[in-house]
Amino acid sequence: MPDKLLLRAERLVAGFGDNTVLHGLSVNVREGEIAGLFGLNGAGKSVTMKVVAGLVPAREGKVFFGSEDITKLTPEQRVELGIGNVPQGRQVFATMTVEENLRVGAVALRRRDRKRYAEVLAGVFDRFPVLAQRRDQVAGTMSGGEQASLAVGRALMSEPKLLLIDEPSAGLAPLVVEQLFETLRRIAATGMTMLLVEQNVTFGLKLVDTAHILQMGRIVYEGATASLDREQVATHLGIGRLLGAGLAGVGATNEKEEGRARKPARRARKAATT
């Protein structure tokens, strides 16, 4: 897997009003990898995603996409550059049909190359057959899993280089989560870069290549999933040994995935306080 950085966030400070959530957070995402942000509620995971997406301004620090400083760009400008966003709670347009939701996601594509719209729409329908079957269904009447697929499909309509996915498993049954994550694996196999926030650590660590653990708005531990110290992971997440069995199989699970270019395992390390 290439070591070229696609996303670089440096010493981010951000929050809401008088409440500062990120305290100098830095994170890198390499081209072609799935990076995961993990942490307890309030650690700053979703705020990090919102800063990268342009939905929350950085009070301090910089965000680079490739070689370009995007810190001051609007969310729409970031989509134009190649950042797709699957927000927390999915946030589909409940009163619009499936195809109308996908069309909204294709605004940047249609502005850039209107002729490609039909081809990209067909590709999303191929990837998510349920969306093709229900293209005229009002999104608000769909199940949680179907809405999750729609949210991902809508983000893919802009043909992003980087996909931000915030809490994809929230509110979904375990079987539906497995199916959704398998779809994300297939998308990643095409070379798509992803930054994922996931509260379900066992599921999340089976999907990502690199894990970044947050506490109080800082990265406190990070490393390739194949070489994570699971006791340290459990300690940082405040869960003792509850994930012992689940984390023990992470390296083996990731190595068995087919069609995925794998990074050489790097020794997990404690990140310096930023």
Residue 203 predicted with pLDDT over 90: no
Residue 98 predicted with pLDDT over 90: yes
Average pLDDT, the chain: 87
> Domain for residue 66, yes or no?
yes
Is 210 in a helix, a strand, or coil?
A: strand
Q: Which residue has the tokens 């539906």?
A: 176
**What pLDDT is attached to residue 239?**
67
Q: How many domains does the chain have?
A: 1
Residue 257 predicted with pLDDT over 80: no
> Domain for residue 267, yes or no?
no
Range of the domain at 52: 5-256
> Domain for residue 245, yes or no?
yes
> Domain for residue 78, yes or no?
yes
The residues with which 138 forms a beta bridge, in sequence order, are 97
> Domain for residue 265, yes or no?
no
CATH number of domain containing 194: 3.40.50.300
How many CB atoms within 10 Å of residue 245?
10
DSSP letter at 94?
A: T
Residue 227 predicted with pLDDT over 50: yes
| 24 Cβ contact partners less than 8 Å away, ≥ 6 residues apart | 11, 12, 13, 60, 61, 217, 218, 273, 274
HSE-CB at 10 with a 13 A cutoff on CA atoms is 10
State the pLDDT confidence band at 190, using cuts at 50, 70 and 90.
very high
Residue 264 predicted with pLDDT over 60: no
Q: Using one digit for the tens of pLDDT, what is the confidence trace for 100-159?
A: 999 999 999 999 998 999 999 999 999 999 999 999 999 999 999 999 999 999 999 999
**What pLDDT is attached to residue 141?**
96
**What pLDDT is attached to residue 250?**
55
State the pLDDT confidence band at 238, using cuts at 50, 70 and 90.
confident
Residue 242 predicted with pLDDT over 80: no
> Domain for residue 133, yes or no?
yes
The residues with which 85 forms a beta bridge, in sequence order, are 164
Residue 258 predicted with pLDDT over 50: no
**What pLDDT is attached to residue 74?**
97
> Domain for residue 45, yes or no?
yes
Q: Using one digit for the tens of pLDDT, what is the confidence trace for 14-73?
A: 999 999 999 999 999 999 999 999 999 999 999 999 999 999 999 999 999 999 999 999
State the pLDDT confidence band at 247, using cuts at 50, 70 and 90.
low
> Domain for residue 35, yes or no?
yes
**What pLDDT is attached to residue 186?**
92
Is 61 in a helix, a strand, or coil?
A: strand
Burial class (CB in 10 A: 0-12, 13-18, 19+), 222: buried
